[in-house]
Amino acid sequence: MGRTAAEWSAPPKFPATHYVDSRLYTDEAIFKEEKEKLFRPSWIIACHESELPEAFDYRLFTHPAGVPLIMVRGDDARVRAFYNICPHRGNTILHDPSGNAKRMTCIFHQWSFDTRGNCVEISRAEQGYQERFRKEDASMREVKCELAYGGFVWVNLADDCAPLREFIGGAMDILDPYMQEPMELFHYHRAHVRTNFKLWHDTNSEFYHDFLHYFNRITGMLQPGYFDRRYTGFPNGHATVGSMQIQYDKYEGSKERAVGWPGLAPGGWYMVDLFPGMTYNLRTSVMRIDTSIPLSPNEVLIEFRGLGLKRDTAEERAQRVFDHNTIWGPFGRNLHEDLLAVTGQGRAMREGTDSRWVIQGREENSTIHDEVGMRHYYAEWSRRMGRPAYAPY
């Protein structure tokens, strides 16, 4: 028998920690607050160092808090991050998404900057400013930047932020043994999805949704040990998922992976979820990284990166690309199904649909179909936002 409006709106019969108010996925005020309280003070992956292989190489990145950034490798080989905003009249400095620039010049009035953020040229400076304003007064706004955890470039907008390793804590320890060799990017694409960024991260926080994936239902879920993998929560909202060995030869049209990963057992798989919206996913022969860039309460840009080893032969790299695209490419076996699911959530939860609650009530001793990963995430969300996810108003 169906429920009445009052029954539909009543809180689920679970502890308050086991459900969230679905309005936190659609409320514009909450979204703006998240950008300031979750993303601005957090360390965020901007790109991989292999995307900036040479001196003066740059790449643009829109920070989840909304700030446009330039990631650039200087003549000293150091990678730095700056606002992509001219200090003169607030114009965009660089427009192409990537390139090589010894000088970064604003097209508006030809003010130029070097890769260390110094202003090196102000057109007709003496005539217009005399001694009242100098190049030294017009340097770029630099933000905190570190290279770590597999060669990724991390940024933090807060000048007084804690060091990256303090933010991560022990969450990456499970992957550290497998990130000792230099990696190189071989795949990048973005998905523009009509859903809330937290709903995407939720899919990486629970594996109960393996029922969504046909190939997972007929292969991995039938393997011994599948249900034994455990979630481990860490401070700051991070979590890891224990490993399992995937029998790829059981997949229709697939076979056992011909290329592995240094130190990883054949078919091995590790995953780390990082608050507020990043995931490391090492699966047999490929490292995949997801980074969420929220655009609105019901709109997110997800950056997907696939990486192999820098020392790969041409044959090894070709195999890694094949392995990656089979599962995680835009037309792979899993990714499009995940995107379809969260798009459906975004459609059903948009403002005015009368969606009310999202249940996170499964308890299976913190194993793979337990929803403890989601509860752990929203506990951190509640702490940072200063309001409980189950009653945010």
| CATH of region 44-164 | 2.102.10.10
* Helix (H), strand (E), coil (C) string for 286-301: EEEEEEEEEEECCEEE
Gap between the Cα atoms of 125 and 119, Å rounded: 12
Average pLDDT over residues 11-18: 95
For residue 290, list its beta bridge partners: 279, 304
Q: Is the pLDDT of residue 205 over 90?
A: no
Contact 268, 323 (CB under 8 A): no
Q: Which of 94-103, 180-189, 216-225, 337-346 has the lowest mean pLDDT?
A: 216-225
Average pLDDT over residues 160-170: 97
pLDDT at 224: 77
Q: Is the pLDDT of residue 173 over 70?
A: yes
pLDDT at 267: 80
For residue 61, list its beta bridge partners: 69
Gap between the Cα atoms of 325 and 331, Å rounded: 7
Q: How confident is the model at residue 125 (pLDDT cuts 50, 70, 90)?
A: confident
Contact 48, 61 (CB under 8 A): no
Closest to 383 (Cα-Cα) out of 233, 279, 241, 278: 233
* Residues making up the chain, counted from first to last: 393
Residue 360, CB half-sphere, CA atoms under 13 Å: how many? Answer: 26
Class of residue 141 by CB neighbours under 10 A (exposed 0-12, middle 13-18, buried 19+): middle
Q: How confident is the model at residue 227 (pLDDT cuts 50, 70, 90)?
A: confident
Average pLDDT over residues 221-246: 84
Mean pLDDT taken over the chain: 92
pLDDT at 18: 97
pTM: 0.93
Residue type, 235: P
Q: Which of 117-131, 190-204, 255-269 has the lowest mean pLDDT?
A: 255-269
Instruction: Enter the DSSP assignment of 36.
Output: I
Closest to 284 (Cα-Cα) out of 260, 308, 304: 260
Gap between the Cα atoms of 157 and 43, Å rounded: 8
Average pLDDT over residues 274-292: 95
Q: Is the pLDDT of residue 225 over 90?
A: no
Q: Where are the beta strands (DSSP E) in the chain?
A: 19-21, 44-48, 57-62, 68-73, 79-83, 98-100, 104-105, 112-113, 119-121, 142-148, 152-156, 183-193, 231-233, 239-241, 269-274, 278-283, 286-296, 299-309, 357-359
Contact 172, 154 (CB under 8 A): no
Gap between the Cα atoms of 79 and 75, Å rounded: 10
Average pLDDT over residues 331-358: 88
Edge-to-edge strand ranges of the sheet holding 286-296 = 183-193, 299-309, 286-296, 278-283, 269-274, 239-241, 231-233
Residue type, 101: A
* Helix (H) or strand (E) run with residue 314 in it: helix 314-327
pLDDT at 1: 86
Average pLDDT over residues 20-46: 97
**Domain assignments of the chain as residue spans, ordered by start:** 5-27+175-385, 44-164
Q: How confident is the model at residue 223 (pLDDT cuts 50, 70, 90)?
A: confident
CATH fold label, 5-27+175-385: Naphthalene 1,2-dioxygenase Alpha Subunit; Chain A, domain 1 (3.90.380)
Query: What percentage of the chain reaches a pLDDT higher than 70?
Result: 95
The alpha carbon dihedral of 48, 53, 56, 60 has a sign of negative
pLDDT at 256: 55
Q: Is the pLDDT of residue 381 over 70?
A: yes
Average pLDDT over residues 152-180: 97
Q: Is the pLDDT of residue 215 over 70?
A: no
pLDDT at 353: 87
Q: How confident is the model at residue 257 (pLDDT cuts 50, 70, 90)?
A: low
pLDDT at 246: 61
Average pLDDT over residues 59-64: 97
Q: Hey, what are 378's tokens?
A: 């929203």
Average pLDDT over residues 110-126: 93
Q: 220 or 360, which is more confident?
A: 360
Gap between the Cα atoms of 26 and 326, Å rounded: 33
Q: 226 or 64, which is more confident?
A: 64
What end-to-end distance do the CA atoms of the chain give, in Å?
A: 31
Q: Is the pLDDT of residue 380 over 70?
A: yes
pLDDT at 211: 81
Q: Is the pLDDT of residue 255 over 60?
A: no
pLDDT at 116: 97
